[in-house]
Amino acid sequence: MKIGDRVLIPTPGGVYVTVLEGNVEFLRDKINSETAISRKAKWLNSTPYPRTSVLGLLNSRLKVRQTCIQINDLQREVEDLIDHLNSDDPPTFKETLKEKLVTNCLKELREGRLENFGFENLIHKYF
Protein backbone atom coordinates (compact mmCIF):
# COMPACT_ATOMS: atom_id res chain seq x y z
CA MET A 1 0.00 0.00 0.00
CA LYS A 2 1.13 3.54 -0.68
CA ILE A 3 0.28 7.08 0.35
CA GLY A 4 -3.02 8.13 -1.25
CA ASP A 5 -4.47 4.61 -1.33
CA ARG A 6 -7.94 4.16 0.13
CA VAL A 7 -8.33 1.57 2.84
CA LEU A 8 -11.67 0.07 3.86
CA ILE A 9 -11.92 -1.20 7.42
CA PRO A 10 -14.83 -3.59 7.98
CA THR A 11 -16.57 -3.74 11.34
CA PRO A 12 -19.60 -5.77 12.37
CA GLY A 13 -22.47 -4.09 10.54
CA GLY A 14 -20.40 -1.32 8.96
CA VAL A 15 -17.28 -0.08 7.23
CA TYR A 16 -14.86 2.81 7.71
CA VAL A 17 -13.01 4.46 4.81
CA THR A 18 -9.55 6.00 5.18
CA VAL A 19 -6.94 7.51 2.88
CA LEU A 20 -3.31 6.72 3.69
CA GLU A 21 -1.30 9.86 4.42
CA GLY A 22 1.97 8.49 5.77
CA ASN A 23 4.51 5.71 5.54
CA VAL A 24 4.63 2.72 7.86
CA GLU A 25 6.03 3.52 11.31
CA PHE A 26 7.14 1.22 14.10
CA LEU A 27 6.04 2.54 17.50
CA ARG A 28 8.04 0.66 20.14
CA ASP A 29 5.84 1.98 22.99
CA LYS A 30 2.74 0.36 21.38
CA ILE A 31 4.08 -3.21 21.26
CA ASN A 32 1.98 -4.39 24.23
CA SER A 33 -1.25 -3.06 22.71
CA GLU A 34 -0.44 -4.79 19.39
CA THR A 35 -0.59 -1.48 17.49
CA ALA A 36 3.16 -0.96 17.04
CA ILE A 37 2.98 -0.99 13.25
CA SER A 38 1.08 2.09 12.21
CA ARG A 39 0.62 4.69 9.50
CA LYS A 40 -1.14 8.02 9.38
CA ALA A 41 -4.50 8.03 7.64
CA LYS A 42 -7.36 10.45 7.08
CA TRP A 43 -10.68 8.99 8.20
CA LEU A 44 -13.49 9.87 5.79
CA ASN A 45 -16.30 8.86 8.17
CA SER A 46 -16.58 9.11 11.94
CA THR A 47 -19.21 6.38 12.30
CA PRO A 48 -19.37 3.10 10.39
CA TYR A 49 -21.13 3.24 7.01
CA PRO A 50 -23.91 0.62 7.18
CA ARG A 51 -23.20 -2.70 5.47
CA THR A 52 -26.80 -2.73 4.23
CA SER A 53 -25.89 0.12 1.86
CA VAL A 54 -22.66 -1.36 0.46
CA LEU A 55 -22.97 -2.89 -3.03
CA GLY A 56 -23.03 -6.71 -3.10
CA LEU A 57 -19.62 -7.58 -4.56
CA LEU A 58 -17.80 -5.21 -2.22
CA ASN A 59 -19.82 -6.40 0.77
CA SER A 60 -18.85 -10.00 0.00
CA ARG A 61 -15.16 -9.10 -0.30
CA LEU A 62 -15.29 -7.23 3.02
CA LYS A 63 -16.25 -10.46 4.82
CA VAL A 64 -12.58 -11.51 4.72
CA ARG A 65 -11.11 -10.95 8.20
CA GLN A 66 -7.66 -10.55 9.74
CA THR A 67 -5.83 -9.74 6.51
CA CYS A 68 -5.40 -7.24 3.70
CA ILE A 69 -7.16 -7.93 0.41
CA GLN A 70 -7.06 -6.31 -3.01
CA ILE A 71 -10.24 -4.62 -4.21
CA ASN A 72 -8.82 -2.86 -7.27
CA ASP A 73 -11.40 -4.67 -9.40
CA LEU A 74 -14.23 -3.12 -7.36
CA GLN A 75 -13.57 0.58 -8.06
CA ARG A 76 -17.21 1.25 -9.06
CA GLU A 77 -18.41 -0.22 -5.78
CA VAL A 78 -15.85 1.76 -3.75
CA GLU A 79 -16.81 5.00 -5.54
CA ASP A 80 -20.48 4.30 -4.81
CA LEU A 81 -19.68 3.77 -1.12
CA ILE A 82 -17.69 7.04 -0.96
CA ASP A 83 -20.43 8.95 -2.81
CA HIS A 84 -22.95 7.95 -0.14
CA LEU A 85 -20.53 7.93 2.82
CA ASN A 86 -21.92 10.87 4.76
CA SER A 87 -25.50 10.61 3.55
CA ASP A 88 -28.18 10.82 6.22
CA ASP A 89 -30.22 8.20 4.36
CA PRO A 90 -27.94 5.88 2.32
CA PRO A 91 -29.66 3.58 -0.19
CA THR A 92 -30.40 0.00 0.83
CA PHE A 93 -30.68 -3.20 -1.20
CA LYS A 94 -34.43 -3.31 -0.57
CA GLU A 95 -35.01 0.27 -1.75
CA THR A 96 -32.77 -0.09 -4.80
CA LEU A 97 -34.32 -3.43 -5.82
CA LYS A 98 -37.87 -2.07 -5.40
CA GLU A 99 -37.06 0.98 -7.52
CA LYS A 100 -35.55 -1.15 -10.30
CA LEU A 101 -38.42 -3.67 -10.22
CA VAL A 102 -41.04 -0.93 -10.46
CA THR A 103 -39.14 0.84 -13.25
CA ASN A 104 -38.69 -2.35 -15.28
CA CYS A 105 -42.27 -3.55 -14.71
CA LEU A 106 -43.70 -0.21 -15.84
CA LYS A 107 -41.48 -0.29 -18.92
CA GLU A 108 -42.68 -3.79 -19.82
CA LEU A 109 -46.32 -2.85 -19.24
CA ARG A 110 -45.92 0.14 -21.56
CA GLU A 111 -43.61 -1.31 -24.22
CA GLY A 112 -43.62 -5.10 -23.82
CA ARG A 113 -45.55 -7.86 -25.52
CA LEU A 114 -48.69 -7.82 -23.47
CA GLU A 115 -51.52 -9.94 -24.87
CA ASN A 116 -55.15 -8.84 -24.79
CA PHE A 117 -56.23 -8.50 -21.14
CA GLY A 118 -52.71 -9.52 -20.09
CA PHE A 119 -52.46 -6.92 -17.34
CA GLU A 120 -55.89 -7.78 -16.00
CA ASN A 121 -55.03 -11.49 -15.97
CA LEU A 122 -51.77 -10.74 -14.16
CA ILE A 123 -53.58 -8.77 -11.46
CA HIS A 124 -56.24 -11.47 -11.10
CA LYS A 125 -53.64 -14.23 -10.77
CA TYR A 126 -51.38 -12.59 -8.18
CA PHE A 127 -53.74 -10.31 -6.27
pLDDT digits (tens, 9 = 90+) for 16-72: 999 999 999 999 999 998 889 999 999 999 999 998 889 989 989 988 877 788 888
Report, in this order, helix, strand and coil percent for the chain, each rounded to 5: 45, 15, 40
One domain, residues 12 and 30: yes
Q: Give the chain's length.
A: 127
Domain residue limits at 122: 92-127
One domain, residues 111 and 73: no
One domain, residues 84 and 123: no
pLDDT digit string, tens, across residues 94-104: 888 999 999 99
Of 38, 40, 16, 41, give the one whose Cα is nearest residue 29: 38
Query: Which helix (H) or strand (E) covers residue 69, if one does?
Result: none
One domain, residues 72 and 125: no
One domain, residues 72 and 112: no
Whole-model pTM? 0.67
One domain, residues 80 and 116: no
